[in-house]
Amino acid sequence: MEILSTLGVALGFASLAGLNLYLTTFLASLAVRFNWANFAEQHEGLDVLANPWIMAISGTLFVVEFFADKIPWVDSSWDALHTFIRPVGGGLLAIAALGEMDPAITVVAALLSGSTSLLTHTTKASSRLLINTSPEPVSNIAASVGEDGLVLGGFSLMALAPAISFFIFAVAIIITGWILWKVITKARKALQGFRQRKQAKRLAKQQAKELGST
Query: pLDDT, tens digit, for every residue of 146-204?
Result: 999 999 999 999 888 888 988 999 999 999 888 888 878 877 776 676 677 767 677 76
Cα(93)–Cα(64) distance, integer angstroms: 21
DSSP class per residue in 136-175: -THHHHHHHHHHHHHHHHHHHHHHH-HHHHHHHHHHHHHH
Average model confidence (pLDDT) across the chain: 86
Decide if 210 is inside a domain. no
Decide if 38 is inside a domain. yes
Decide if 194 is inside a domain. no
Note the maximum CA span of the chain: 85
pLDDT at 163: 87
Percentage of residues in the chain with pLDDT exceeding 90? 42
Decide if 190 is inside a domain. no
- Closest to 65 in 3D by CA, of 123, 14, 128: 128
Percentage of residues in the chain with pLDDT exceeding 70? 88
pTM, two decimals, is 0.83
Residues 6+ apart with CB under 8 A from 115: 87
pLDDT at 66: 95
DSSP 8-state secondary structure symbol assigned to residue 116: H
Domain count, the chain: 1
Per the structure, the complete domain to which residue 107 belongs is given by 2-180
Better pLDDT: 58 or 127: 58
Decide if 191 is inside a domain. no
- Closest to 72 in 3D by CA, of 149, 144, 19: 144
pLDDT at 67: 94
Decide if 199 is inside a domain. no
Rounded to an integer, the average pLDDT of 39-63 is 87
pLDDT at 46: 86
Decide if 31 is inside a domain. yes
